[in-house]
């Protein structure tokens, strides 16, 4: 007999591929499921403060504040969108925002709870515009002891 999938880790950061993974979770979940939505802010954002044009501390601080505000608003909007959709479906959820290497954050989060399934988008097809989060599905899959569903990118 197949075990019911009730505790799902959804790794999504709002890209088109991640939204495909979200949609799959929305379609497959029963109302008694619990979704943990993991959003990883990749560590490369900390390097956005290159000092080639930020030539004084006031400019650097202003830009850092601007960047943190913009990124924070995007994260909040994404969390709100996913939470609202799950709430409308009657599905209980928690949302976890972490900063770091996407692979390591996913693997570490898996160690915090007993998930039945991990759902995430597959890597973006070559030639598709956008920033790559550098999630290496092969590395991640080797580290996991939980089934991983990598939902195909809509443009694949």
pLDDT at 59: 75
pLDDT of residue 91: 92
Q: Which two tokens stand for residue 146?
A: 């939980």
Q: What pLDDT score was predicted for residue 2?
A: 46
Q: What pLDDT does residue 46 have?
A: 62
Rounded Cα distance between 17 and 20, Å, is: 5
78 burial type by CB count under 10 A (0-12 exposed, 13-18 middle, 19+ buried): buried
Query: Helix count (H) and strand count (E) of the chain?
Result: 4, 5
Query: What pLDDT does 1 receive?
Result: 36
- Using CA atoms, how far apart are residues 51 and 91, in angstroms rounded to an integer? 45
User: What are the two backbone dihedrals, phi and then psi, of residue 72, each rounded to the nearest 5 degrees?
Assistant: -60, -40
Q: What residue segments make up the domains of the chain, in order of their start?
A: 7-44+82-151
Six-digit token pair at 2?
Answer: 């197949």
> What is residue 49's predicted lDDT score, i.e. its pLDDT?
59
pTM of the model as a whole: 0.82
Residues of the chain under the 70 pLDDT cut: 1-5, 44-55, 129-137, 156
CATH T-level topology, domain 7-44+82-151: Rossmann fold (3.40.50)
Short-list 78, 65, 88, 90, CA closest to 37:
78
The reported pLDDT for the residue numbered 48 is 60
Measure the CA–CA gap between 32 and 8, rounded to whole angstroms. Answer: 11
């Amino acid at each position: 007999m197949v075990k019911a999938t009730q505790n799902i880790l959804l790794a999504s950061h709002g890209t088109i591929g991640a939204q495909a993974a979200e949609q799959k979770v929305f379609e497959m979940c029963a109302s008694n499921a619990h979704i943990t939505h993991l959003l990883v802010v990749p560590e490369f954002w900390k390097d956005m403060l290159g000092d080639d044009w930020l030539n004084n501390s006031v400019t650097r601080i202003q830009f850092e504040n601007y960047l943190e505000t913009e990124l924070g608003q995007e994260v909040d909007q994404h969390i709100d969108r996913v939470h609202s959709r799950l709430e409308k479906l009657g599905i209980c959820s928690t949302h976890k925002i972490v900063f770091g290497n996407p692979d390591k954050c996913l693997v570490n989060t898996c160690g915090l709870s007993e998930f039945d399934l991990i759902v995430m988008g597959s890597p973006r097809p070559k030639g598709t515009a956008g920033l790559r989060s550098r999630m290496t599905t092969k590395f991640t899959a080797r580290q996991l002891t939980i089934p991983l569903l990598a939902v195909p990118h809509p443009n694949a």
